[in-house]
């Protein structure tokens, strides 16, 4: 088995790997002991987005989405599954053909908890291994948001400042994008340092107002690396979310 950041690859033939990614969420929902109160639909949606984003970013062809809900199907469980299905539809996947899972029907639950696992496959020759080099730019698409800020700004106000699956699919098809890395709870700096380390480089940051250490919650932004000569080409792609040059690899 090969691990590339949060993605596991395991061979299933001489030419293909299984691509396994996952995400979990707890204490967010509308149950009595949930810390962040939000419609369960968004719990299912954003948790699935994270797992799908990791799989799609490396080039995976999704085979199955597995949801594990630590609550009953009736009520909140049904709403969570609606969110799971919405995320799959945005990734151009069929929920009726690919989704499976389980719920908790034996014990009364007072706090929301779910997990989502995505299983895909990829040709070994198409795996997007770390391949950046000195002089490449680190570019952030979307902004880091989590918890109540995410609920207030993206769900209630619909600011549209976070990455969507359609953007990840679009970015994965751009030949000049060298690496495509969803940013999660460890923050932007952590992922930048991972990119630099895996490519035997260092990072020089550009001064800016974005907090590089704050959590990006459910993968609300992504990092890409590109040759500095391709930045204008990126800006012409009608990706209608914030785009910021974070720094450079040296």
pLDDT (0 to 100) of residue 3:
86
pLDDT: which is higher, 159 or 245? 245
pLDDT in tens, 167-177: 999 998 899 99
What are the two backbone dihedrals, phi and then psi, of residue 16, each rounded to the nearest 5 degrees?
-135, 150
Identify the residue whose tokens are 């950041």.
5
Domains and CATH numbers, the chain: 2-126 (3.30.1330.10), 137-249 (3.90.650.10)
- How far apart CA 225 and CA 168 sit, in angstroms, is 14
- Among 144, 159, 38, 55, smallest CA distance to 98 is for 55
- Among 200, 198, 210, 221, smallest CA distance to 247 is for 210
* Helix, strand, coil percentages for the chain (3-state, nearest 5): 30, 30, 40
pLDDT in tens, 197-235: 999 999 999 988 799 999 998 999 999 999 999 999 998
Q: Is 39 exposed, middle or buried (0-12, 13-18, 19+ CB in 10 A)?
A: middle
Identify the residue whose tokens are 């389980």.
102
- How far apart CA 48 and CA 62 sit, in angstroms, is 12
Question: How many alpha carbons lie under 13 Å from residue 203 in its C-beta half-sphere?
Answer: 22
Residue 66: band (very low, low, confident or very high) from pLDDT cuts 50, 70, 90: very high
pLDDT in tens, 17-57: 999 999 999 999 999 999 999 999 999 999 999 999 999 99
**What are the residue ranges of helices labelled H in the chain?**
40-57, 78-90, 95-98, 147-150, 165-172, 187-198, 231-235
């Amino acid at each position: 088995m090969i691990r590339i950041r949060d993605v596991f690859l395991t061979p299933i033939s001489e030419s293909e790997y299984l691509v396994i990614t996952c995400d979990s969420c707890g204490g967010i929902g509308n149950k009595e002991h949930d810390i962040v109160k939000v419609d369960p639909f968004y719990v299912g949606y954003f948790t699935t987005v994270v797992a799908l984003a990791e799989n799609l970013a490396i080039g995976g062809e999704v085979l199955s989405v597995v949801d594990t809900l630590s609550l009953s199907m009736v009520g909140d469980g049904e709403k969570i599954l609606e969110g799971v299905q919405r995320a799959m539809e945005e990734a151009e996947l069929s929920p009726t053909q690919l989704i499976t899972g389980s719920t908790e029907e034996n014990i009364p639950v007072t706090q929301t908890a779910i997990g989502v696992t995505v299983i895909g496959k990829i040709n070994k020759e198409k795996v997007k291994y770390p391949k950046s080099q000195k002089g490449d730019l680190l570019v952030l698409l979307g902004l880091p948001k989590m918890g109540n800020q995410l609920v207030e700004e993206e769900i209630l106000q619909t600011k549209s400042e976070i990455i969507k699956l359609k953007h990840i699919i679009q970015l994965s098809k751009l030949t000049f994008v060298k690496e495509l890395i969803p940013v999660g709870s460890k923050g932007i700096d952590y992922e930048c340092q991972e990119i630099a380390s895996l490519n035997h480089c260092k990072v020089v940051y550009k001064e800016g107002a974005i907090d590089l250490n704050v959590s990006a919650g459910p993968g609300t932004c992504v990092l890409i690396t590109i040759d500095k000569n391709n930045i204008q080409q990126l800006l012409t792609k009608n990706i209608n979310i914030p785009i910021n040059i974070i720094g450079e690899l040296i």
